[in-house]
Structure 1
Amino acid sequence: MFKKGWVYIAIGVLTLGAIFLMEYNKPKKINWFPSYVSHHKIPYGTLVLNDLMEKHFPDAIQQIHKPPFEFLTRTDSIKGTYFFVNESVSFEEAELNSLLEWVEQGNMLFVASRSFEKKLLDTLHLEQGSVYNNGLEPLFYYELVNPKFKNKPATFGKDYYTPGFDQIDTLRTTVLGQVYAQADSTDTITKHINTIKQPFGKGTIVLTSFPKAFTNYFILKDNNQAYTAGLLSYLDSKGQIYMDNFHKSGKSFYTSPMYLFLNTKEFKWAYYLVLIGALIYIIFEGKRKQRAIPIVPPLKNQTLAFTRTIADMYFEKGELHLITKHKIDYFLEYLRTKLHVSTQNLEDETFLRNLAMRSNTDLEDVKALIGMISKLRTKQYVTEIELKNLNQKIEAFKANVDGK
């Protein structure tokens, strides 16, 4: 019997080890979250973009981690291009006003986002819409309009629709890029505007509704880097390029101390094994060493028993007048503490009426009770019947006070 138990234990340990080995060697799931953070290596991070920018503009790139409003108002001599890229870039009103004032002074605003602030669109006389793919596969083609870019259109097949500009100010707006889907044999290809440039004051604003063109996945896929390079060629390379790190969907840094363990496969499984081992230790060792908890009965209230003992002593000795005296004294104390009345003059008519109103008792019953008390206080001998009558009247009086 003992050997058979060891066989079961060995089978369980081997099975558990096989499960851990399979989980450890399982391919890591790809994180497709659109973070757009500059140091993220996930598909929709922008590590490759920032490395390329640092390489081609080594002295012009500056990473900004402040809100644009704070950066522009608290920093002097800011000239160049402010570059934003995120799934959605939404400026507050004061923030947008400070950016537009800054552009009017001769600077450039470059924003890559799937959606834009309505006030910004109204200022530039633009309207956004969506471009859908009617085919079986979500595949879109992106191309630059300038004939100098003779490269093939870049393809992207992760979205079932893509934003575009339905309406533009044709007198002031320059179209830089277009997007279209592969048409069926019966349909014609319709191209939609997705990247524009427009002068604003002495400066320039460039908007593109395809921010994924600047992500790691898009740049490293096939020959798409030529499309991204074409978009970046519209940046003003003569001045500083301020890379925004504030308007991002993902976190720029992690504050949790557990991030190192849970983000590294080896540390994560080591952490899980420690938790499982601690749980097993608690289950088995806790059963062996746990002692029975003794039952401690609560202390009994001996007040009632003491009172009954004293009462029996008085009753056995025949000292009914003492019992009556104590009964009357306790009752008068009850009137003073419960009903807040003075018991100095029990025969006073005002006292009797006041006591009747406060105790919810008829005036005649109150007079009868007080009269009995006054009579028994002067007697030297009290019979058992008189004591019982007094007790009944007092209990009836207290019942009226409690509303019973």
Structure 2
Amino acid sequence: MSKQIKFYIALTALAIFGIVLLEYSKPKQINWFASYVKDHKIPFGTYIFHEQLDRLFYDSEIINLESPPYQNLTQSDSIHGTYVFINSYVQFGDTELGKILEWTSKGNTLFIASENFEDELLDTLNLETDAISIFEVEGDSFQFRLSNTMLDTTTVVFDKSKYAPYFNQIDTLNTSILSTINGYEFEKDTENLITTPVNVIKQPFGDGTIILSLFPQAFTNYFILNTPNQHYTAGLMSYLDSSKPIYVDNYYKSGKSFYTSPMYILLNTKELKWAYYIMLIGVVCYIIFEAKRKQRAIPIVKPLRNQTLDFTRTIANMYYEKEKHNDIAQHKIQHFLEYIRTHLHLSTTTVNDEFLKNLAARSNNSIKDTKHLFTTIERHNENTKLNNTQLEQLNTLIETFKSNNSWKKKT
């Protein structure tokens, strides 16, 4: 191995080591995906919420459900208590929503935190929703506050959203306001009786209760870990009945609660991920430096081209252009006689009837055609001045004679 190749190998290894070092030392990028999954510790996961839920309701039974609510409520009659849904957007569908509302009307509590609700649910509860843009409030964040003075009514801040949904219309006779959006008020000439946007409400439904929140971010890791926001989330949870089981939905989630791909486990563990990368780098290095040929490729030397035919064609063309038809005819005749001696194994010293008869038999030509050919040859031998037509006639007769013999060999 030459010094130049060793230098390039060392340079490549140094570059790979530098890339690995930079990737290892740079800070891990924050994942802001809104997953709302209970096991996710990313900012918009709900790992902290589920931990605090166990602490707040230590005397209650908390059950996490992975299957659709319609399946849970249909297959089991023992589900009674509070059903909690938290996600960016929760949409049940007509059949499933009807089943959930029927279950709620039997004395249970339905808690849904979502940035929007399906029209069927809003129409059933006489609600309408709208949203406030971040440009309509002071600063670059939204402020929220609990309405119940018996709870901690400290204003909390959320700065990771461009808009804040609120209930534009509510049934004021049957609806309790649990939380509002501060820092924004409706215009005085509005027909809405509510002066401050409402984002969390509670409403009776049959013998049960429905609690709707347009602020699901209140249950994320990012929100709860910013003091004093945890008191706001705990205040909302205080409306749940702690004497009955609490069923937490893990089906309607933007992110996955579990991963079926083995690559997730491999790439999500730092040590295994770098072991995988180093293995790939090693394979690439092997392909580059070891899988190549050990011996330099032998160049293909093309054999010298046989230019005899080209030379003969050139000379023939020269003779033809200078109208030396007699010379061409003599060469053609001599070549034909050599053909007879070589391929048909007949002596051309004496041309008589016996010779013509043997030649016709061996060449698959008739005796008449054979005699006509040699009569023409004899005539051309005596004629020293041939024209183009005579030369072409001679050539045609010879080629026809030879082609018949070729056909015989093939068959």
Residue in structure 1 matching 2:216, options 211, 214, 233: 211
Task: Tell me what 2:249 maps to.
Answer: 244
Ranges of 4+ aligned residues in structure 1 off by more than 6 Å? 290-293
Number of the residue aligned with 2:132: 131
Deviates more, 1:172-181 or 1:201-210: 172-181
- The answer to whether the aligner puts 1:270 opposite 2:275 as a matched pair is yes
Q: Return 281-290 or 156-165, whichever deviates more.
A: 281-290
| Structure 2 CA distance for partners of 1:315 and 1:99, relative to 1, 3 Å | farther
Unaligned runs of 5+ in 2: 186-194, 301-359, 368-399, 401-411
Q: For residues 162 and 238 of structure 1, what CA distance do their matches in structure 2 show?
A: 33
Q: Is the 8 A contact 1:66 1:246 kept in 2?
A: yes
Task: Name 1:98's counterpart in structure 2.
Answer: 99
Shift of residue 137, structure 1, vs aligned partner: 4.2
The partner residue of 2:150 within 148, 153, 162 is 148
Query: Identity percentage over the alignment?
Result: 52
Q: Work out the number of aligned pairs and report it.
A: 302
Please give the alpha-carbon distance, in whole angstroms, between the structure 2 residues aligned to 1:319 and 1:109: 111
Amino acid at match of 1:317: N
Instruction: Give the whole-Å Cα distance in 1 for the aligned partners of 2:131 and 2:77.
Output: 40
Counterpart position of 1:369: none
- CA drift of 1:11 comes to 4.3
Matched, 1:164 2:172: no
- 2:258 and 2:277 map into 1 onto residues whose CA distance is 24
CA RMSD of aligned residues (A): 3.1
Q: Distance in 1 between matches of 2:47 and 2:152?
A: 27
Given residue 134 of structure 2, which amino acid in structure 1 is its aligned partner? N
SS of equivalent to 1:287: coil
Q: How does 1:310-329 map to 2 (within 5 A)?
A: 316-318=363-365
- Please tell me whether the aligned partners of residues 24 and 265 of structure 1 are also in contact (alpha carbons under 8 angstroms): no
1:79 aligns with 80
Q: Deviations over 1:85-131 (max 9, x none)?
A: 00100111110000000011110000000010110000000000001
Residue 319 of structure 1: CA displacement? 7.9
Matches within 5 A, 1:388-403: none
Corresponding position: 1:18 with 2:18: yes
CA 1:315–1:56 in structure 2 vs 1: closer, same or farther (change >3 Å)? farther
2:108 alignment partner in structure 1: 107
Q: CA deviation at 1:8?
A: 5.3
Between the aligned partners of 1:315 and 1:144, the Cα distance in structure 2 is: 119
Task: Return closer, same or farther for 1:292/1:79 CA change in 2, 3 Å cut-off.
Answer: same
Contact 2:266 2:272 in 1 (8 A): yes
From 265, 273, 281, the equivalent of 2:286 is 281
- For the residues of structure 2 that align with 1:144 and 1:9, how far apart are their CA atoms? 66
TM-score by length of 1: 0.69
Structure 1 residues 169 and 6 mapped into 2: Cα distance closer, same or farther (>3 Å)? same
Contact 1:126-1:165 at 8 Å conserved across structures:
yes
Q: Is the 8 A contact 2:82 2:245 kept in 1?
A: yes
1:172–1:22 Cα change, 3 Å: same
Larger deviation: 200-209 or 273-282?
Answer: 273-282
Q: In 1, distance between residues paired with 2:25 and 2:14?
A: 16
Task: Pick the structure with greater CA Rg.
Answer: 2
Higher mean C-alpha displacement, 275-284 vs 110-119 = 275-284
Which of 232, 240, 253 is 2:258 aligned to? Answer: 253
TM-score by length of 2: 0.67
Q: Note the residue ranges of structure 1 that are not aligned, 5 or more in a row.
A: 184-189, 296-312, 321-383, 385-404
Change (3 A) 1:80 1:198: same
Letter in 2 for 1:266: E
Alignment-mate amino acid for residue 139 of structure 1: S
Q: 1:16 Cα deviation (Å)? A: 2.8
